[in-house]
Amino acid sequence: MSRCCWKKMNNEKVFSAWAPDHSIWSPWVKPVLFSHLPERDTGGFELLPTDISWAPPRDERIALVLDLPGDAGVKLALALAKNGYRPVPLYNAIPVSGDAPGNEIRAAVDVVPIVRALSEGANLLVDLHLGSDAPPAFLLDANRQGPGEVAPDQFDNRSVSFTTDFPSANFLRAHGIQRAVLVSKRAAQPQDDLAHTLRKWQDGGIEIRVKGLLDHGGAEPIEIKRPPRFRSIFQRALASMGLRRNPMGGFGAWVPNPESHGGGG
Amino acid sequence: MNEFCRAGHELDAKTFAAIRRRTILEGCKWDPQVEDVSTLARFPLIMRASIWKSLARSAELLATEAVAAESEILQKPKLLEGLGLPRRLLNVLRADEQVSPAALRVIRFDFHPTTAGWRISEANSDVPGGYSEGSFFTGLVNAEFPELRPAGNPGASFAEQLLRNTEGQGTVALMAAPGYMEDQQVISFLAKNIRERNCAATLCQPSQLEWRGGDAFLHGDRVRALVRFFQSEWLAKLQNSFGWRNYFRGGNTPLANPGSAIVTESKRFPLIWNELSTELPTWRALLPETRDPREVPWRADESWILKTAFCNTGDTVSIRALMKSCEWARAQWSARFFPNQWIAQRRFESVPIETPDGPRHVCVGVYTIDGRAAGAYCRLSPKPLIDFAATDVALLLEKDE
C-alpha cells in the first residue's frame, strides 16, 4: 500500500494533473467532472494493492480501455500509471443537478466517487512524472447508462460514449499503438456504445483484446461484432435518441413523474 | 488576405493550453475535442471593423424583418401550414390565445464569404448556442492580441438585456434536456453570466416547471424569466401536463426565446415570403434561392442542396458532392417521400481563407439581441459545410487602414 503526500489543489491543478500540457492524450480528457470539482481541500489518495500482473509492459505500446463501474476505473488506472500508463478520463456525466443548495436532486448515476477519486489521485499522478508518450488507459464508467429504469424525480445524468470521444485508429497507429485491450469486469463484448469505437479501431487495423478482471489469465483476442447502425453518419443523434425514448425528445431527460407534476396550460 | 477576413498568427502552445484550460473549466466549454480535431482554433479570425459594421447592420435588418414577418404569420394561421411544423405545434400556434411574451429575442445569422459576397445559410431563431465561444474564449484570445478588439460579448449582452427587460424578484430558470452536453454547457454558461449580475439562476428541465394560469413556477417559486435551450419541436413532444403550450401561446412568464421563434427557424420560411405583406429585402438579398423540393430538379442539378425544415446543427444539410452514395440515397428518399419536411436551396460557393491549419471555410454567426448586433460565434471547416465538428475561432476586429 502506498499513500501519496497531500497537497491542496484547485480544479485547474487537478485537471492539469490528469491532462498535462505535454501529454499527447490530454486533448481527449473530458472536462465536465473537473469543472464541477468542489472548492475544498481534498484528502490524500490511498493506493490499495491491485493485481495488474495481466497488464502488458508499457513498452509494448498497447492502449487500454477501462470500462469499469464508479471509481474502480480511476483506482485501477492509478495502479497502472505506476507501470507507465497515462490515465485518460472520458467521464462525461454532470455530477449534480445544478439546483440551488438544498434543492439538489439525487442523480441517476452517482459519479461523486469518481470526482473524489480524480481529485484525490491528482497528487499521486503528478508525482509519477509520466512521459509525454506514455501509452493511454482510457477511463469510462461502466454504469454510465444507468441501472435500467431511472426512478421518477431523479436527475437523469446518464451519458453515452461516442467514437468522437476517442482518438482515431490512424492517430493510434501513428503513435505506435497497434493493439488495444478492453478491461471490464468480465471478458465479453463491449457495451453497445463503446462497440462503435472498438469496431472502428478494429477496422482501422488495431487488434482488440479483452481482459475480465474477475477472470483468470491474461487478455484474450476478441472479434468486435458490428454494432447496430455502425458507421451511420447520424450515430451521435441515434445513440442519444435510442438511449431513452420519452416525452422529452431524447435521452438524458428529466424523468417525468405524473403524480407530482400538475402544470397548467 | 481575401476581402472578407483573415487568420491571425498562431498562439504558442503554452499560451493556448492555458486559454483552452480556462475555457473548459471556467467557460463551460465541455466539448473541446471531436475525435482527432481540436474544436478550438489556436489563432484568431481577423476582420476589418468596417466589414463587421456592415455585417452587423445586415444582421440587424434581418432581425427586424424576421420579427415583423413572424408577427404577421402568427396572425395568418394558413401560412403556418407551409413551414413543415409538427402537427401538435401547428395546432397550438393557430390558436386564438395571446402569443407568449419574450424576455428578449436572440437570433444568430450565419454569414459565409462566397464568390457572390457575404451570404447567409440560415437564421438560428429558436435556440442559438455558441455564447461561451463567442464571449469567454474570444475574450481570452483577445488578451493575447491587445491591438485588436472583440465584436461583442454575446453572453454578457444576453444576461444584461434579459435582466433589463424583466423585473421583480425570483430566479431566472434556464431549461435544457440533461445528457445533451452541448446543450447543458450553453445554459450553464448563461446561468453563470446571470449570477454574476446578482440574480439567481437555476438550471432545470421541462418537467420541473409548474405552470399556474400561464405563470411558470420552479420549486414553488414564481420564475422571473425562462431561458429555453430546448428546441421548439421537442417541446411539442411533451405531455400536455408539462404545460408546453405556454411556451407558444397563453403564457405570462417572459421567455428567451418564445416558442413562436420557430416560425423563422423553419428553413421553409422563404417559401411563404410571397404571401406576406412584410417586406423582406435583406433576406431576399442574402439568403440563397430556396424552393420546395418538388419545384426544382435537385436530383439532376448539383447546384441545389437539400436541408430539412428543422436542421439544427447542419446535420441534415445534404450536399451530393460531399456525401457517400448511400447517405445521399437516404436523403434523396426522405426528400421525395416527405417533401413538406425539406427544402432545396441554391448552393453558394464558399471562399476559403488561408489559416495556419490550411485552407478553411468560414462561418460568422452574428448575434442580434432585441434587434441589436451583439457579437459573433465563428467557426472554420476544411469542407464547405459547417457541422458539429467544425472548429470554433475567436473573431477579432482591426481598425481600417
For B177-221, write each residue's pLDDT tens digit: 766 778 888 998 999 999 999 999 988 878 788 999 999 998 788
The Cα angle at residue B393 between residues A250 and B389, in degrees rounded to 5: 35
- Which sequence spans correspond to the domains of chain A? 8-45+58-243
| Nearest-CA distance B397 → chain A (Å) | 29
List chain A residues with CB under 8 Å of B24.
Answer: 15, 31, 34-35
Q: Alpha carbon of A173 to those of A100, A169, A222, B218, B270: distances in Å?
A: 47, 6, 19, 51, 48
Residue A172 CA to residue A177 CA, distance in Å, equals 5
Instruction: Name the average pLDDT for chain B.
Output: 91
Q: Alpha carbon of A176 to those of A173, B245, B295: distances in Å?
A: 5, 56, 54
Q: Name the most confidently modeled range: A34-38, A191-195, B294-298.
A: A191-195
| Nearest-CA distance B57 → chain A (Å) | 35
Task: For A25-34, write each residue's pLDDT tens digit.
Answer: 999 999 999 9
* Model confidence band, residue B35 (pLDDT cutoffs 50, 70, 90): very high
| Nearest-CA distance A249 → chain B (Å) | 5
Contact between B243 and A264 using a beta-carbon 8 Å cutoff: yes
Residue A19 CA to residue B25 CA, distance in Å, equals 12
What backbone phi and psi angles, to 5 degrees, belong to B123?
-115, 125
Contact between A248 and B206 using a beta-carbon 8 Å cutoff: yes
List chain A residues with CB under 8 Å of B239.
Answer: 247, 256, 258
List chain B residues with CB under 8 Å of A239.
Answer: none
Contact between B234 and A249 using a beta-carbon 8 Å cutoff: yes
pLDDT at residue B15, rounded to an integer: 96
Task: For A82-97, write each residue's pLDDT tens digit.
Answer: 999 999 999 988 887 6
Nearest to A74 by CA among A155, A24, A17: A17
- Which residues, listed in sequence order, are joined to residue B397 by a DSSP beta bridge? B47, B149
CB neighbour list of residue B357: distance below 8 Å, 6 or more residues apart: B41, B380, B382, B391
Residue A33 CA to residue A107 CA, distance in Å, equals 14
Among A217-231, A244-258, B162-176, B228-242, whose mean pLDDT is lowest? A244-258
Chain A interface disruption, residue of B14, B15, B16, B25, most A CBs within 10 A: B25
CB crowding B122-156: b at 16 or more within 10 Å, else e: bbbbbbbbbbbbbbbbbbbbbebbeebebbbbbbb
HEC secondary structure over A223-244 = CCCCCCCCCCCCHHHHHHHHHC
A 10 A CB-CB count for A129 gives: 8
Contact between A99 and B203 using a beta-carbon 8 Å cutoff: yes
Nearest to B65 by CA among B20, B123, B4: B123
Residue B177 CA to residue A256 CA, distance in Å, equals 12
The residue that leads in pLDDT, A155 or A116, is A116
The minimal CB distance from B35 to the residues A99, A168, A244 is found for: A168
Average confidence (pLDDT) over B104-132: 95
| Nearest-CA distance A242 → chain B (Å) | 13
List chain A residues with CB under 8 Å of B192.
Answer: none
Name the residue of chain A whose CA is nearest to B328's CA.
Answer: A233
pLDDT at residue B26, rounded to an integer: 92
**Count of positions (residues) in chain A:** 265
Contact between B239 and A256 using a beta-carbon 8 Å cutoff: yes
| Count of A-B CB contacts under 8 Å | 154
Average confidence (pLDDT) over B214-238: 91
pLDDT at residue A150, rounded to an integer: 62
List chain A residues with CB under 8 Å of B191.
Answer: 98
* Model confidence band, residue A1 (pLDDT cutoffs 50, 70, 90): very low
Contact call for residues A64 and A135 (beta carbons, < 8 A): yes
Contact between A35 and B209 using a beta-carbon 8 Å cutoff: no
Average confidence (pLDDT) over B50-76: 97
List chain B residues with CB under 8 Å of A103.
Answer: 202, 219
The residue that leads in pLDDT, B321 or A210, is A210
The minimal CB distance from A253 to the residues B13, B22, B205 is found for: B205
pLDDT at residue A253, rounded to an integer: 34
Chain A interface disruption, residue of B11, B35, B233, most A CBs within 10 A: B35
